[in-house]
Amino acid sequence: MADTTRPDPKDHGKDHGRDHGRKEAGSGVLVIGLGRFGSALALTLEKLGHDVLAVERNPDLIRHFSGRVPLVEADAANPEALEQIAAEDFAAAVVGVGTSLEASMLITGNLVDMGVRQIWAKAISPEHARILTRIGAHHVVFPEADAGSRLAHLVSGKLLDYIEVEGDFTIVKMRPPREMQGFDLSQSKIRTRYGVTVLGVKSPGVEFVYATPETRVSADDILIVAGHPELLERFAARP
């Protein structure tokens, strides 16, 4: 394992610890664990231009992601390691460790003790989530369960995408039913008839537009529709 007391900037091709390049305290995201969830998160943040630092203790994963994302080799279950990389200076920390419950809880507890303002933690079960919440995690996510639930909606119907905002409010992307094609929204009366709201329309080769009563829908359009999940499922099942 690399020396967390004095990380070597030459290791893994990236700067480490307090010298990894953050502009100021209170910014950036610390991602702990480079499994499927953590690595996807860290790489996406890096691609979007956000200040991110990944923490991983597995040498194989360190080698695999070397040069792809700023990272440091350290055991985040050790509070001294988190102190050396100034975890408290980050705006948010994400605990992507899920398979080891002990490590997940220790890391989350360390971040809470250090006063990290926003702590996101991955959970693999409701029991795990309850413990993380009691420890002090501000947000608990279920990546596998959420992905499975989302996929169930996509494979079982005509939906192109499905985003559950709250339990009773969902946004979907879908093709328009035949009864809408060739009519504007004021004529098709979708909200009155089905209880859902068309937020916008994307036509081929044309920029997305927010829906108005005068928006006309064609067979090749993609609709962005919001409403109660059950009502959306019924609407999307229309021929």
Domain locations along the chain: 11-141, 146-236
Residue 51 has pLDDT above 70, yes or no: yes
d(CA 214, CA 224): 16
Residue 15 has what pLDDT? Answer: 42
Residue 146 has what pLDDT? Answer: 72
Residue entry with tokens 């985003």 = 163
Q: What is the tens place of the pLDDT at every residue in 95-154? A: 999 778 999 999 999 999 999 999 999 998 899 999 999 999 999 988 877 776 676 667
3-state class (DSSP) for residue 5: coil
For the chain, the residue count is: 239
Residue entry with tokens 């609709």 = 223
Contact 34, 41 (CB under 8 A): no
Contact 142, 96 (CB under 8 A): no
Residue 18 has pLDDT above 60, yes or no: no
Match domain 11-141 to its CATH number in 3.20.20.60, 3.40.640.10, 3.40.630.10, 3.40.50.720: 3.40.50.720
d(CA 183, CA 76): 58
Sign, CA torsion 12/17/23/28 = positive
- Tell me the pLDDT of the chain averaged across its residues: 85
Residue 26 has what pLDDT? Answer: 67
Q: What is the tens place of the pLDDT at every residue in 184-210? A: 999 999 999 999 999 999 999 999 999
Residue 238 has what pLDDT? Answer: 87
Residue 1 has what pLDDT? Answer: 39
pTM comes to 0.65
For residue 3, name the pLDDT band (cuts at 50, 70, 90): very low
Domain 146-236 has CATH 3.40.50.12170: no
Residue 153 has what pLDDT? Answer: 66
Which residue type occupies 10? K
Residue 229 has what pLDDT? Answer: 86
